[in-house]
Every structure is written in structure tokens, then in C-alpha cells.
Amino acid sequence: MIDTKPAAPNALPTPYLLFLGDVTETGFAKTAFALRDWAPDSCTGEYVLPGGKVSTGLQPMTPAQAASQGARSLLIGVASPGGIIPASWYPALFDALDAGLDIVNGLHTKLSSVPKLHSAAQDHGRRLIELRRPPEGIPSGTGTRRGGKRLLTVGTDCAIGKKYTALSLAQAMSRRGMLVDFRATGQTGIMIAGSGIPVDAVVSDFISGAAETLSPDAPDEHWDVIEGQGTLVHPAFAAVSMGLLHGSQPDVFVICHEPGRKHLVGYPDFPTPTIEEIIDLTVRLGRYTNPAIRCAGVAMNTSALSEDAAYRLLAAESNRLGLAVADPVRGGQAFESLVSACISD
Amino acid sequence: MIDTKPAAPNALPTPYLLFLGDVTETGFAKTAFALRDWAPDSCTGEYVLPGGKVSTGLQPMTPAQAASQGARSLLIGVASPGGIIPASWYPALFDALDAGLDIVNGLHTKLSSVPKLHSAAQDHGRRLIELRRPPEGIPSGTGTRRGGKRLLTVGTDCAIGKKYTALSLAQAMSRRGMLVDFRATGQTGIMIAGSGIPVDAVVSDFISGAAETLSPDAPDEHWDVIEGQGTLVHPAFAAVSMGLLHGSQPDVFVICHEPGRKHLVGYPDFPTPTIEEIIDLTVRLGRYTNPAIRCAGVAMNTSALSEDAAYRLLAAESNRLGLAVADPVRGGQAFESLVSACISD
């Protein structure tokens, strides 16, 4: 079980009632599915509106029913076409406040776009929590060495498995009886962990400081497994990756890669870097805040391959790179070897 | 003359009346001095309170007098002990609004900390301009190549001459009849240029996009000379340097360095990098958005040396590195060689 002790001021009111609105395509519900998969104990049930066609399979219930079962918030677990909060959702949001639930929102569109919701929240003494709002009081980075060990997932692109890999590694380490915390840096990860800092919403002068705050000083044997963001070669987001790397001062990093991906998602003029390139850059830049930084191995997304082809590729890459290479989804011995490579000196 | 055409939405209401408050130490007035030196045409005069001991030498005048001479804003040109806005300054701020001036503030403390100032501004139809507020509507970076040429000043530390060097180079290039714009990224630079984007206040996901916005597509022969920020090895601020580098897609960069500085200012555990290290990192990382990036030379701060020792050092370093090396403050032939090295292919 992943330890969900709050790491940062942004502790969320769990457990959640997952709100699926009236979305009709599963692609819009990735957040809800991730919560069901990674934080089932944080989910009381789901609430789907008439017309909605997507379900997580969790127990369906209204806000009032969820509240009576101990739920503390309604979490918007779906995106919406156009990114706005549709009027069809409004009654559910007000019902949630009536029932005594806070509302947790990770959409770009703020809850303040819903007329009268803010005053309703005030009347009921409830919180409207915006996960994309920059947190307050984040200090600048210091570069000071902190106690404990840290692992960072590092990507050759965005949307390549850094969160999933971090969650898998943390879970595996926890199963081995280790003291470990998953540290979330994105909205979904924060919802899963129940706390964290959305680093892409932090002002750039404070990104390293945010990363330092996210994985504070800890006992020597404790591990922070930190969700990476972006990639160091990204024309739009490399700054986030850089600040997160410095502030996390990781002892160990795991590369996340998808074989066959030719260019950065959304940036067709930018070829995906090689694994070696990112290993080299990460060591080069990461050394400034942790001279001992090393690459433990590679997590590959082999979902496009057959099982045979996948295992052949993982073995071949492991040979080629001289590192542990595994697919966290497929698990197995290769993944256990990757875990071992992370935690051994 | 440096072209002060607004480059970005943040165009400031020039000319300014420089407000020096009642500060007694020149160290607090660096902004005012920089404006006097670099943007004299943007300064109508100065306003010093009783008890103040620092003067820029500009014509002393009250807000009403400044307004009658065409000033459009009172600019707070000093820092204050503790960083707050002292009550002794309040009457001057209200007088400025009365006289028809906007107020430009670059302090961390916002003008909203001054009781009733905001409503006074509204009553007079005046603006309170916070230079440390993140600008709105900045897009994500695209990595798309833009027309025109770009030069970025890059540091081996913070507070090492990047702004001064950029201003000097832009001024020299302008004197040579070139089409050039100085692009400001910090509060003082923005005040000097009359526009710009305070990149350290931009949310980290948008830093590259801010840099792209700051130096937009331009004619082939046009030069943007961009004020660098931070240094790529800084434990707190490297993310800013990274995003600015990517988004600026510079063709040319000039290293700014101070011989004898042993560690990063404020970070005694972090040694200053070598010039070669920063050249290497800048080329390595900058290539992703401009494969043609090259180092034109080095701007050194030799203020601690005698004139003889300085010129000997500049010549020796130029020999050693195989690059143009000059002190922009000392100017002279060495500096002209540096300018030539920037603009030649």
C-alpha cells in the first residue's frame, strides 16, 4: 500500500466521490481510472449523471450517500470537451456542497466559472480546491542536501509513463517492506497521493524550491519516489524538468521511454532523444545538487508489442545499455530486477 | 539610441518621475541609477523625500511638476530596508495619483499593501503597475524557428553583468546602424526598455513561451539582444535559465563572468562554474531550439582590478579561450572586437 501521508501543504480531503459527469468517451476519464487503479482506498464510489456512458466500476452513489459513507469531497475525475465545466454538471456540484463535501477540481477551468458556487461553498463552510492553482509560500531552492534517498522518473518525452513508473516502483518498494513515499508533481498524481505540488503551476523562480519542499528531509533509510515532468530536451517544458531535477536531488533516476516514438508528442519537428542522451544530460545536470546521481535503469512502454516481442526487446535493450530494463505494466522478473537496481547501492 | 518600442504587452507609461523615497544608502537605489544611465530620455526627473540622502543628479521635482512636464508615471526606483513600502512614502504615492501619474512598482511588496491606494487609483482613473506580477496570456513554447537574429547574455552566476552587457551590446550595435532591440527579462531591464516580461514571475510551464513572446518573429537583419537570467548550474534558478535559453533560440551568446568569484552569490556551497563549462552547457542545451548556436565571446567584470591588470587579464583570457573577451564597462577596442564577434557569422 502506498503511503499517502501528506507531504506538502496541499493535503486533499480524502476519500473522494469520483464525479464522472456525463462524459461518453473513456478518454475523458483517465483521471478517474487512475484513481480507481492506484488509490482505491481513497475512493468511496462514483457519481455518473444521466447520459454519462463511462464508469469506473466503483459503487455508484449520490453525494449524500457518499457523505454518509465518510466521503469528504467530490472529485472531478473527468475532462470535458472544450475544457469548460458544462452547465449540466452544475446541480451535482451544488448537491455535493449541500451534502457536506468539498469539491476537488483539476481542470484548467476554475470552479469560479460556475455562477454562485463560491458563495454556496462559503454558506456551507466547504472548500473549493483548485489543483491547478499555484501553491502559496513556496521558497526558493537552497541546494542543501537533505537526509533520506530519492528516486526520480525522467522521460524522453511527456506522456510517457513517468507517473505510472513512479507509482509502480513505490508500490513495489513498499511491498518489500521499505519506508517509501510517492511524491506527486501533477494533478492526477496529487489526487492519487492525496497531496503534492503541481510543479507546472509554480512560478519559475520557485520550481527547485517546490521540488525541495515536496521531498523534505527524511530518515536515511526512507525513499522518496518522485513523479518526473517533461523532458530535458523539450522546447516548451524543459525548464520544469530542470528545476524538478535540481530540487529533487535524486540519488537514482529511472528513464521512461517508448520505443518507436519518433518525435515529441505535439512537436513533430522535435525528434525524441535517445535513452543515452537523456541519461547523459540527467547525470550531467543532476550532479550539481547530488554528485552521486546514477541511472538505475529504464522503464519501457511496450504496449504496442506482443508479449514475446516485448520481452525480447527488454532483454536486448538491457544488454545494449548494461542496465535493468523493464515494462512496469508487464511486471515480472524484469521489473523486480529494475526495483532491485534502484534500491541497491 | 536603444529602440524602446514595446516588444510585449507589458508596455510601461514613460517617461517616469523617479521616486527615491527617503533612502540613505546608494545600494538601495540601483534601479534609479540604472534608469538614469540607460534610459535618460525615459526620466523626467527625480523625487526625493526629506531625509533621503541619495540622488541620481536628475532634476528634482514633485509629482505635479513632473506631470506638467509630460511624465506619465511615478516609478519606485529604490528598494527599502525590509522590502516593505514604508508609511513615510505613502503621501508621495497619493500625490502621484492626484497629479495624474500612474505608479510603477518593482518591489516584491505590492502596492495593495498601501491602505486605500487602490481605490484612490480607481477614483483618479490611474494604473498601479506591478512589475513582479506574472503577465497574463503567455502561451506555451512551440520551438518554432523565428525570423531575425538573437543574442542572449548567459552567466556563470546571478548578479554578474548580464543586463549591463546586453544593454551595452545593443547600444553598440545600434551605434553601428543596425536594427536592434534590447529585450528585458528582469524588473530593472523592463523599466529601462519600457517593456518586457519578468520571466522569473512566469509559471514554469510557460517560461519558454514567454521567451518566445519576448523576441517575436522579425526581419532577417534584425537583432534581439536578450537579457539573460540566472545560470544553468544554479540550484535555485537554473530552470529560468533553461527556459529562457530554449525560448530565445539564440544564434549567438556571450558569457558574463567575474574573475575571482569563487562561489555562487548567496550559495557558499556551490562553486562558480568555469567559463568553458557554461559555454559547453549552453551550446549543448541551446542546440535543441537552434542548432546554429555559438559563443561569440566573454564579457568580464574587471572592476576589482587596476586598468593594467584588467587589460592583461582580458588579453590572456582571449588567448586562452580563443574568443573575444572584453569588459563592457571599460569599453575600448576589446569591446568593439566583442561586438564584431557577435554580429559576424
Is residue A3 over pLDDT 60?
Answer: no
Note whether B20 and B165 are same-domain residues.
no
Note whether B221 and B106 are same-domain residues.
no
Note whether B106 and B162 are same-domain residues.
no
Q: How far apart are CA B256 and CA B169, in angstroms?
A: 12
E strand spans, B33-169: 43-48, 73-76, 102-105, 128-130, 149-155
Question: How close does chain B come to A160, measured CA to CA in Å?
Answer: 18
Chain B positions contacting chain A at CB under 8 Å are 134, 140-144, 199-205, 207-209, 232-233, 235-240, 242-243, 246-247, 267, 269-270, 281, 284-285, 288-289
Domain assignment present for A144:
no
Note whether A203 and A67 are same-domain residues.
no
Domain assignment present for B9:
yes
Domain C-terminal end among B79, B100, B130: B130
Domain assignment present for A140:
no
* Contacts of residue B128, Cβ cutoff 8 Å, sequence gap at least 6: B102, B103, B105, B111, B112, B117, B118, B121
**Mean of all residue pLDDT scores within chain A:** 94
Note whether B171 and B28 are same-domain residues.
no
The three-class DSSP label of residue A269 is strand
Query: Which run of H or of E encompasses A164?
Result: helix A162-175
Task: Tell if the CB–CB gap between B235 and A141 is shorter than 8 Å.
Answer: yes
The per-residue pLDDT for range A157-213, each reduced to its tens digit, is 999 999 999 999 999 999 999 999 999 999 999 999 999 999 988 999 999 999 999
Task: Tell if the CB–CB gap between B237 and A140 is shorter than 8 Å.
Answer: yes
Question: How close does chain B come to A120, measured CA to CA in Å?
Answer: 28
Q: Tell me which residue in B143, B239, B284 faces A207 most closely, judged by beta carbons.
A: B239
Largest CA distance in chain A: 63
Is residue B108 over pLDDT 90?
Answer: no
Percent of chain A with pLDDT over 70: 97
Note whether A239 and A95 are same-domain residues.
no
In chain B, which residues have their Cβ closer than 8 Å to the Cβ of A239? 204, 207-208, 239-240, 242-243, 246
| Closest residue on chain B to A249 (Cα) | B235
> Is there a contact between A277 and A233 (Cβ–Cβ < 8 Å)?
yes
Number of Cβ pairs < 8 A linking chain A and chain B = 118
Of A151-160, A238-247, B2-11, which gets the smallest average pLDDT? Answer: B2-11
Count of structural domains, chain A: 2
Q: What range does the domain containing B288 cover?
A: 149-343
Is residue B87 over pLDDT 90?
Answer: yes
Note whether A238 and A295 are same-domain residues.
yes
What is the per-residue pLDDT for B220? 96
Q: How far apart are CA A336 and CA A328, in angstroms?
A: 9
Cell of B197: 516580461
Q: How confident is the model at residue B107 (pLDDT cuts 50, 70, 90)?
A: confident
The per-residue pLDDT for range A122-159, each reduced to its tens digit, is 999 999 999 988 778 899 999 999 999 999 999 999 99
**Mean of all residue pLDDT scores within chain B:** 94
What is the per-residue pLDDT for B196? 93
Is residue B10 over pLDDT 80?
Answer: no
Q: Tell me which residue in A205, A209, A284 faces B200 most closely, judged by beta carbons.
A: A205
The per-residue pLDDT for range B327-341, each reduced to its tens digit, is 999 999 999 999 999
Note whether A193 and A122 are same-domain residues.
no
Query: Which run of H or of E encompasses A97?
Result: helix A90-98
Is residue B8 over pLDDT 50?
Answer: no
Is residue B142 over pLDDT 90?
Answer: yes
Domain assignment present for A93:
yes
In chain B, which residues have their Cβ closer than 8 Å to the Cβ of A288? 233, 235, 238, 270
Q: Tell me which residue in A239, A267, A288 faces B239 most closely, judged by beta carbons.
A: A239
Task: Tell if the CB–CB gap between B199 and A203 is shorter than 8 Å.
Answer: no
Task: Tell if the CB–CB gap between A208 and B239 is shorter than 8 Å.
Answer: yes
As a whole number, mean pLDDT of residues A273-282 equals: 98
Cell of B36: 538614469
The per-residue pLDDT for range B195-230, each reduced to its tens digit, is 999 998 899 999 999 999 999 999 999 999 999 999
The per-residue pLDDT for range B215-224, each reduced to its tens digit, is 999 999 999 9
Which residue of A138, A142, A197, A204 is the best one to mutate when testing the B interface, meaning the one whose CB has the most B CBs within 10 A? A204
Q: Tell me which residue in B143, B199, B269 faces A204 most closely, judged by beta carbons.
A: B199
Note whether A201 and A272 are same-domain residues.
yes
Domain assignment present for B164:
yes
Note whether B296 and B335 are same-domain residues.
yes
Q: How confident is the model at residue A6 (pLDDT cuts 50, 70, 90)?
A: very low
Domain C-terminal end among A75, A97, A130: A130
- Residue B152's closest CA among B195, B177, B184? B184
Task: Tell if the CB–CB gap between B246 and A240 is shorter than 8 Å.
Answer: no
Task: Tell if the CB–CB gap between A203 and B270 is shorter than 8 Å.
Answer: no
Question: How close does chain B come to A192, measured CA to CA in Å?
Answer: 22
The model carries a pTM of 0.88
Question: How close does chain B come to A49, measured CA to CA in Å?
Answer: 33
Percent of chain B with pLDDT over 70: 97
CATH of the domain at A314: 3.40.50.300
As a whole number, mean pLDDT of residues A224-240 equals: 97
Is residue B317 over pLDDT 70?
Answer: yes
Domain assignment present for B317:
yes
Which residue of A156, A203, A208, A263 is the best one to mutate when testing the B interface, meaning the one whose CB has the most B CBs within 10 A? A203
Task: Tell if the CB–CB gap between B203 and A205 is shorter than 8 Å.
Answer: no
Cell of A69: 459513507
| Closest residue on chain A to B277 (Cα) | A284
Domain assignment present for B142:
no
What is the per-residue pLDDT for A7? 41
Note whether A165 and A123 are same-domain residues.
no
In chain B, which residues have their Cβ closer than 8 Å to the Cβ of A209? 236
Q: How confident is the model at residue A2 (pLDDT cuts 50, 70, 90)?
A: very low
CATH of the domain at B52: 3.40.50.720
In chain A, which residues have their Cβ closer than 8 Å to the Cβ of B142? 235-236, 267
CB-based burial, B143-164: b 16+ in 10 Å, e otherwise = beebebbbbbbbbbbbebbbbb
Q: How confident is the model at residue B3 (pLDDT cuts 50, 70, 90)?
A: very low
Domain C-terminal end among A103, A130, A157: A130
Note whether B263 and B196 are same-domain residues.
yes
Sheet holding B16-21, edge to edge: B43-48, B16-21, B73-76, B102-105, B128-130
| Closest residue on chain A to B267 (Cα) | A142
Q: Tell me which residue in B142, B202, B269 faces A236 most closely, judged by beta carbons.
A: B142
Q: How confident is the model at residue A10 (pLDDT cuts 50, 70, 90)?
A: low
Task: Tell if the CB–CB gap between B202 and A204 is shorter than 8 Å.
Answer: yes
Domain assignment present for A24:
yes
